[in-house]
Amino acid sequence: MLTAKDQPNFVLWNLQVLTDRFNSGSSSPCSDLSTYCGGTFKGIIAKLDYIQDLGANAIWISPIPVNTPDGYHGYWAMDITTINPHFGSKTDLLNLVSACHARGIWVMLDVVANHMGNQRYGDWTNFTFFKPFNDQSHYHPYCQIKDWDDQEQVEVCRLANLPDLDQSNSFVRSTLKTWVEEQVKTFQLDGIRIDTVPEVPKTFWYEYTQSSGTFNIGEVFNGDVTYVAGYQGPLEALLNYPMYFSLKDVFQNKQPMTEIHNTLQSESSAFKDVTVLGMFLDNHDNARFLHNQGDVVLLYNGLAYILFSQGIPIIYYGTEQGFNGGNDPANRESLWPHFYQNNQIYK
């Protein structure tokens, strides 16, 4: 496990990699973005020169458990005890981390503790195919999130109809904490990115992040500065969604720069530490910057801001090649065969 002390004058910036979409070794782009395209841990290893030459010194990879069908993204866990064979083996992942560390590149793993994968339609009480959470008592009673202003509903009901784990159940709570601790130790991970943070009570996150024993940054998909800042404490860092929405307004929609100033002012008083907030223009949950604004100069300006402002810059794979996909899954293109290091954005 690397630390900032391993590299003098270390400044972290992170490349977000969807494991299934980064490199399959194929010369033809993926034709069906709704299912597996063939990217692997070995594929990432083969393109570490590309990552390092881009300037990234950290990568964020997809969740690793076996998923329910078509869970190429990793967020539909079926068996958290087994690595998704579509991505490779345990040895392949160990080799990826080792190869990254040999180059001074940190590895951050995406993790999910809120929910499991899809069930058969209408069979909402059957959990027998999940491992190890195979009993109905491991989940909250069936309900869907309909009111995002109702925090209790957000925490106990289903997001996108995915079975909602009950972290107050002692088995669920202890298993999730032990699991994350084991992954970090086994694979010598340098950090974790935590999915769907507001959907789980803060009391659990205090314990979970402590169990991980490593840097953690969480997703609170919300533009309200005060709401997002409330999760810094249970978590070390958050993705800076309030600033993402401000940058979108300014650089995509050409709104006044004062919006960035106002967000900075609000964040400086609301967050405990603004220097660890994740800064981004693109990610896997939103249409790409160039989909909504085709002026590449405005993209350059936005990238310059996140690279040189306070916080941790996070570049979504494909941005450096000018990808312009729309909403999921169109924004999850296969990077191959577009490893063009002469692309002006890459440079």
By annotation, the residues acting in catalysis are: 195, 219
What is residue 262's three-state secondary structure?
A: helix
Residues 307/317, Cβ–Cβ less than 8 Å: no
131 bridge partner residues: 79
The answer to whether the Cα torsion of 84, 34, 315, 205 is positive or negative is negative
What are the DSSP calls for 156-194, one per residue?
HSBSTT--BB-TTSHHHHHHHHHHHHHHHHHHT-SEEEE
Q: Which two tokens stand for residue 216?
A: 């953690």
Query: Do the bridges between strand 77-83 and strand 237-238 make them parallel or antiparallel, or are there none, so unpaired?
Result: unpaired
**Residue 46: burial class (beta carbons within 10 Å; 0-12, 13-18, 19+):** middle
